[in-house]
Structure 1
Amino acid sequence: MKGFVSSRLHPFINLLLLVGLLLLSFCLASFVMAVLSNLFFGVSLLQIGNVTSKPDTYANGWEVSMLSQGILLFLGFGGAALALPLVTGYTLADYFTPRRPVPLGWLLAAGGIILLSIPFMSGLVSWNAHAHFPGFLQSFEKDARELEDRAQVLTKFLTQFPTFLRFTVGLVVIAVVPAIAEELMFRGVIQRNLVQWFNSRHVGVWLAAAIFSTIHFQFFGFVPRFVLGLVLGYLYEWSGNILVPMAAHFTQNAFQVILLYMQQRGQLTSATFDPDSTQALPVVWQVVSFLLTAGLLWQLYRNTRRPTADPLPTQLRTLSGGGIAARTTEASSPTGRTITHDGVDVTKI
């Protein structure tokens, strides 16, 4: 497949190209959002900003806000992430699943890791939520807390599900769309290029996780989201298939949405589940959670180093300018590898 630009660009140039594609995709997403909002809800382009900032004061505020969020994420982030490999001459399968299809067990394990980590993550959530900045950053801390308080009010309104239809829409917009769009962007494109740029799997994963957490602009939730980004990043590196971090990301968001829906229907009481609480679960639970999560992660890591007789595609080929196979890399090698766009083995686990 031939792209519009060279497939051998430096990763930094690829990331600059990604920024340009993001601008274009968000312009397209804004246009689509304006057309659909006006068509279905009679909300003009000039009104959308007011509606989405204070949706509780408008008749169709919830619907417009969810539509806007879904389109901006899916077309904005997802569209730009999908466009980059296409304009550089790669198929989506080669770019986002560079090794081979993974067994269903990988997807189930990814979701299991998220569920097992919940008690441990609650400790990080509690610590980060009650953290304080140094004295010279007190003004910033005050502004950051006010920003998060406003975001929490908006989130609380958007996660009210009085009907099953609203719950379904919320599950799609809050769980499905971010799992697809954000993983394509942060793991599939940004992390991939950072790994190649710094010639280090670990540097790429950690930098991508930091960007992933920062872009959410929730400073008092930075640490748990950063740790989540690390888990998602290593799942992608070890599996070589973007569906694996997508499964974990979906589980993370869907679990929260489902619990909220159950709590609102009276199936969970505030004593057993408080959606607004930042209190940590008992320390014993956190320790057990950490050990189980670490154990499952270690088992997945070991699987990437184990030879396999899998009959599925076992070679990644780099083609020279004349279409000649310049190098082959055995995917079934006992050592896990990070493969660059050109099939180059840049680092071992």
Structure 2
Amino acid sequence: MKGFVSSRLHPFANLALLLLLTVATLCIAGFFTMVFNKLLFGVGMQELGNVAQNPQGHPNGWGVLMLSQGVTLLVMLGGAALGLAAVTGYRWSEYFTPRRPVRAQWLLLAALLIISSLPAMAVLIEWNQGIHFPGFLSGFEEWAQAKELELKKATEFLARLNSTARLLVALVVLAVIPAFSEELFFRGVLQRNLVQWFNSRHVGIWLAAAIFSAIHQQFFGFVPRFVLGLVLGYLYEWSGNILVPMAAHFTQNAFQLLILYAQQRQWSAASFDPDSTESMPWYLVVASLLIGAGLLWYLREQMEGTRPEDEPTQLRTLGSTGVAVRQAGAASAGARTLSHDGVDATRSEG
């Protein structure tokens, strides 16, 4: 597949191109948002801003917000990530899953890792909600608190799941689309290029996780989301397949939505708030940490271990330097191969 630009661009150039594509796809997302809201809810361009500011005062406020958020995330982030791969000449499967097919148990264990980590994450949420910035950052703290309150109100409004139809819409918009688009963007493109730029998987993963958390503009929830970004980043780095962090990300959002739905339908006597700062019992936190650490260790061993039976014919394999090479006799002369870090190599069979 031939792209519009070279596939050998410096990672900085790739990230600059990603930024340009994000601006373009944001404009496209805005256009589609206006068109779909007009067609489905009769909300025009001028009225759309008013509905976004006060969705409770509009009969279709919930639907307008859901549609706007879903289209924006899907087209802006997902479109920019897929667009970068396309214009640089890569097939999407080659760019985002450069190693081997994912094993079903990895997806299930990644989901279990997220669920088991919730008690430990609750401790981080509690701590992060209570931090205070130094005096010279008082202005930033006031802004961050106001932004936190604004986003919390919007989240609470979107989380009013008073029907099965709303639950299904919420699962698509708040779980499926973020898992797909955010993972393609932050792990598949941003992290990949940061790892290659700094020639360090750890630096790339940590920087991508910090940007992933900061972009949500919830600084009193920065640390828990940063830790989540680290987990997702390492899952992608170890597995070499974007489906693994997608499964974990989907589980993170979908599990909370299902519990909220159960609570609102009065199927559960216990109340649940995904952003709650209420202290968790210490034994649940300890169990969460132990189970989470064990699952992380097991997943790393399974994903990074080379097992011949997992590798189909002509599969790309990684050398000790991180450069992909073909198995003997598997590649044609001059064929391009790709490592997870985006390094191309050619090898002639002679």
- TM more than 0.5: yes
Aligned residue number for residue 66 of structure 2: 66
Q: Distance in 2 between matches of 1:326 and 1:41?
A: 52
Contact 1:201 1:338 in 2 (8 A): no
1:328 deviates by: 6.1
SS at match of 1:133: coil
| Distance of 1:341 and 1:24 partners within structure 2 | 27
**Equivalent residue number for residue 325 of structure 1:** 334
Q: Distance in 1 between matches of 2:108 and 2:213?
A: 24
For residues 164-212 of structure 1, give each alpha carbon's deviation from its aligned partner in whole angstroms, at most 9, with x where no partner exists: 1011101110000000000000000000000000001000000000000
Q: Provide the C-alpha distance between the structure 1 equivalents of 2:85 and 2:44, rounded to a whole number of angstroms.
A: 34
Give the corresponding residue for 1:304.
Answer: 303
The residue type paired with residue 64 of structure 1 is V
| Alignment partner of 1:340 is 2:342 | yes
**2:290 corresponding residue in structure 1:** 291
Q: Which residue of 1 aligns with 2:24?
A: 24
Question: 1:149-164 alignment to 2 at 5 Å?
Answer: 149-164=149-164
Number of residue-to-residue matches in the alignment: 333
Q: Hey, what's the Cα distance between the residues in 2 that align with 1:74 and 1:306?
A: 34
Taking every aligned residue pair, what percent have the same amino acid on both sides?
A: 56
Shifted more, 256-265 versus 148-157: the winner is: 148-157
Paired with 2:254 and 2:102, the residues of 1 have a C-alpha distance of 22
User: Is the CA contact (8 Å cut-off) linking 1:238 and 1:304 kept in structure 2?
Assistant: yes
Q: Verify the 8 A CA contact 1:115 1:252 in the aligned structure 2.
A: yes
8 Å CA contact retained: 1:318, 1:342: no
CA contact (8 A) 2:180 2:246 kept: yes
Q: How many Å separate the matches in 2 of 1:79 and 1:328?
A: 25
Cα gap change, 1:342 to 1:60, in 2 (>3 Å): same
Deviates more, 1:234-243 or 1:143-152: 143-152
Structure 2 counterparts to residues 19-98 of structure 1, below 5 A: 19-98=19-98
**Given that residues 98 and 339 in structure 1 are in contact (C-alpha distance below 8 angstroms), is that contact kept between their aligned partners in structure 2?**
no
Offset, 1:112 = 0.7
Give the distance between the partners of 1:274 and 1:215, measured in 2 at CA: 22
Q: Which runs of 5+ in 1 are unaligned?
A: 330-336, 345-349
- Cα distance in 2 between the residues matched to 1:146 and 1:122: 22
| 1:314 counterpart letter in structure 2 | L
Distance apart, 1:302 and its partner CA: 1.3
Partner of 2:184: 184
Amino acid at match of 2:293: A
**Corresponding position of 2:215:** 215
Matches within 5 A, 1:240-259: 240-259=240-259
What amino acid does structure 1 have at the position aligned with 2:131? A
CA apart distance, 1:341: 4.2
Q: Which amino acid is the alignment partner of residue 290 of structure 2?
A: L
**Counterpart for residue 233 of structure 2:** 233
Distance 1:340 1:166, change over 3 A: same
SS at the partner of 1:325? coil
Displacement of 1:57 in angstroms is: 1.0
CA distance in 1, matches of 2:274, 2:116: 18
Q: Structure 2: state its 5+ residue gaps.
A: 318-323, 327-331
Give the Cα separation in 2 of the matches to 1:183 and 1:343.
26
Distance of 2:166 and 2:150 partners within structure 1: 22
- Does the C-alpha gap of structure 1 residues 154 and 160 become closer, same or farther in structure 2, counting only changes over 3 Å? same
Corresponding residue of 2:316: 315
Q: Please give the alpha-carbon distance, in whole angstroms, between the structure 2 residues aligned to 1:11 and 1:46.
A: 40
Aligned equivalent of 2:125:
125
The equivalent of 2:145 in structure 1 is 145
CA offsets 1:256-304 (integer angstroms, 9 cap, x no match): 11111111001123x4534552113112211221111011111111123
2:11: which partner in 1? 11
Amino acid at match of 1:216: H
Shift of 1:315: 2.2
Q: Which deviates further from its counterpart, 153-162 or 220-229?
A: 153-162
What amino acid maps onto 1:281 in structure 2?
A: M
In the TM superposition, what is the alpha-carbon distance from 1:306 to its structure 2 partner?
2.5
C-alpha contact 1:176 1:250 (8 A) present in aligned 2: yes
1:318, 1:326 within 8 Å by CA — same for their partners in 2?
Answer: no
Letter in 2 for 1:36: F
What is the letter of the counterpart of residue 325 of structure 1? G
Shift, 1:233, TM fit? 0.1
